[in-house]
Amino acid sequence: MLRVLFVGDVVGRPGRRALHLWLEENRDRFDICIANGENAAGGFGLTEKIVNKLLSYGVDVITGGNHTFDKKDIYQFIDKYPILRPANYPEGTPGRGFITLEVKGLKVLIVNLMGRVFMECLDNPFRIFDAIYEENPADVVIVDFHGEASSEKQAFGFYADGRATAVFGTHTHVQTADLRLLPQGTLYITDAGMTGATDTVIGMEPKEGVDRFVKQLPVRFKVPEKAKVIQFCGVLFEIDDDLRVKGFQRIYDFYERGEDGAYIRRESSL
């Protein structure tokens, strides 16, 4: 049996702290850890130092999205680590959009795609998935579909149903309640959620988020570095010997900072 953890968008220092705390307690419970890390460096992009931290916590593959290239230094190191950027970026874009791991004698194909509705106009993610799937035979296929529109993510779920083992939506930072098996057996959720500061607007200080909508002016979003409550969001699932998803659960756990500055678990979904 193969057990896989997918972690929703890790946002800034609070997200990295929540990820570290949760993996310290639970990393031995699963075989593969995939985390969306495009917001891990101050909410925008990745640095090499942070990549190494995420890997040291127990993350095996870091997926991305529209903020993958916000830190320009990534051009220098993206090919050195198991980092994915959306596979439907144009040909010649640095990095790779998929990776194959060998785990417990199984080939596990992990694909990163980005939607086009209300996003950058990239190549068609549906057709790119077809090509990757056909050219890279694998026992298990896991997709991070980074998209704004729930309709596009749901449509992709049904499009990949029966081919992908699991499709996880990311980007909107709010965990949805629709984790389920689609008719042909693909595990699906519209958004796996956010790993970061809890009392925020999608991981950022509330004031700037409110001002943007009230005043209609551009603002600079900031991650609350000393958040009182932080959260860990993700999905844990099992694959049986017949390569079918056997069990699955959403994870939404909270940690609260005490007077000494240390975080302790407040609530758990396990």
Residues with active-site annotation: 67
What are the DSSP E strand ranges found in the chain?
Answer: 2-7, 9-10, 32-36, 61-63, 98-103, 106-114, 140-146, 166-170, 180-181, 187-189, 194-197, 229-239, 245-257, 263-267
Q: What is the amino acid identity at position 265?
A: R
What is d(CA 270, CA 260) in angstroms, rounded to the nearest whole number? 26
With tokens 């800034």, the residue in question is 12
Q: Count CA atoms within 13 Å of residue 140 on its CB side.
A: 27
Contact, 181 vs 163, CB < 8 A? no
Nearest to 143 by CA among 95, 196, 187: 187
3-state secondary structure of 149: coil
**Amino acid (1-letter code) at residue 64:** G
CA separation (Å) from 100 to 14, 84, 133?
30, 11, 11
Place of tokens 């785990």: 103
Q: Which residue's structure tokens are 């939506």?
A: 169
Is 129:111 a contact under the CB 8 Å cutoff? yes
What is the C-alpha R_g of the chain? 18
